[in-house]
Amino acid sequence: MRIAILSRGPELYSTQRLVEAAETRGHEVLVIDALRCYMNINSVNPEIHYKGKILKDIDAVIPRIGASVTFYGTAVLRQFEMMNVFPLNESVAISRSRDKLRSMQLLSRKGIGLPVTGFAHSPDDIEDLLKTVGGAPVVIKLLEGTQGVGVVLAETKSAATSVIQAFNGLKADILVQEFIEEAKGADIRCFVIGGKVIAAIKRQGQEGEFRSNLHQGGSASLVKISAAERATAVNAAKAMGLNVCGVDLLRSNHGPVVMEVNSSPGLEGIEGATAKDIAGMIIEFIEKNIGKKQNQSRTRGKG
């Protein structure tokens, strides 16, 4: 096969591992920066041009699209779909997962456990907003935040009110969530491939830190997950329409709750902690599914 990896960082661990895994299995790999692709949308035959040449005869595409380039990156992926190239994850599913509110609405519709969550732009009744999520302590999140930045624990009603007012002043969209204290600063990352959890790790925040993000000094270790956690992760992946994803769960005293579903999950932490060849499993998923109709892009770029 000829496999294209859409990635802006050929030197990144995840990209390198995917290249290595594909080449080991006898495939040809191209690492392509989506932002450098240009396309002729009017063409009868959809084409993608890259560095002065037309990209041809590509069988599968692995999107590793960074959050900051979602819009253009998914447009390039959609063009591949229009050319009948097999996408590891479909463009519509990626767009869906990048929108936190849309994701939570979709997951809740499928009855998947979520932290009690409110969202708001400029609430005129902060007290009522806090009441809808059960009152302080609450976690307040900037919708645009990433890697733990913009996630605040407000332990009292007055702290929560001040933080919400401050975010209002910045005209930011926010999420207000019940604080899952019993998670004790840890979350579970379930790595899903083709409807199965193939690995799971626990990320534990530093002493005194409620955020488990590795970028905030958290550490990763192997974890055994329960049947309920496994089912929650699988259902979340299915609800989002993602073949490959990382589902982040919190262990709450009302069962596993999904915090988010990541459509380009990193491989370094999880391969390091589990010693599994996850890049290889991703390539094998493509090998097994590329011919199957039901796993092809459902929208063929029309979504």
Ligand X SMILES: Nc1ncnc2c1ncn2[C@@H]1O[C@H](COP(=O)(O)OP(=O)(O)OP(=O)(O)O)[C@@H](O)[C@H]1O
Residue ranges of the annotated binding site are 141, 178-179, 187, 211-213, 248, 260, 262
Size of the site for ligand X (CB under 6 A): 22
Q: Which of these segments, 27-35, 141-149, 219-227, 235-243, binds ligand X (CB under 6 A)? A: 141-149
Residues 6+ apart with CB under 8 A from 151: 139, 140, 141, 142, 145, 211
Asked whether position 179 contacts ligand X by CB under 6 A, the answer is yes
Size of the site for Mg ion (CB under 5 A): 1
Known binding positions for Mn(2+): 248, 260, 262
Q: Of the two residues 258 and 286, which places its CB atom closer to Mg ion in the complex?
A: 258
Instruction: Give residue for tokens 């089912």.
Output: 231
Q: Which of these segments, 44-52, 53-61, 174-182, 280-288, binds ligand X (CB under 6 A)? A: 174-182
Helix (H/G/I), strand (E/B), else coil: 152: strand
Strand partners, 154: 138
Instruction: Give residue for tokens 């595409």.
Output: 61
The percent of the chain in helix, strand and coil, each rounded to the nearest 5, is 35, 30, 35
Q: Of the two residues 81 and 248, which places its CB atom closer to ligand X in the complex?
A: 248
- Spatial separation of the C-alpha atoms in residues 64 and 176, rounded to whole Å: 29
Site string for ligand X, 246-275 (x = CB under 6 A): --x-x--------xx---------------
Residue 214 CB, nearest approach to ligand X (Å): 9
Asked whether position 210 contacts ligand X by CB under 6 A, the answer is yes
Known binding positions for ATP: 141, 178-179, 187, 211-213
Site string for ligand X, 283-302 (x = CB under 6 A): --------------------
- Spatial separation of the C-alpha atoms in residues 248 and 57, rounded to whole Å: 36
DSSP one-letter code for 253: B
Strand partners, 119: 175
284: left (phi over 0), alpha (psi -120 to 50) or beta: alpha
Q: Of the two residues 54 and 67, which places its CB atom closer to ligand X in the complex?
A: 67
Which residues, 233 to 272, sit near Mg ion by CB under 5 A?
A: 260
Q: To 10 degrees, the CA torsion angle through 223, 229, 64, 67?
A: -110
Asked whether position 242 contacts ligand X by CB under 6 A, the answer is no
Asked whether position 176 contacts ligand X by CB under 6 A, the answer is no
Q: To 10 degrees, the CA torsion angle through 89, 189, 211, 267?
A: -60
- Kindly list the residues in this chain that would bind Mg ion in the complex (CB under 5 A): 260
- Kindly list the residues in this chain that would bind ligand X in the complex (CB under 6 A): 115, 139, 141, 145-148, 151, 177, 179-180, 183, 187, 205, 210-213, 248, 250, 259-260
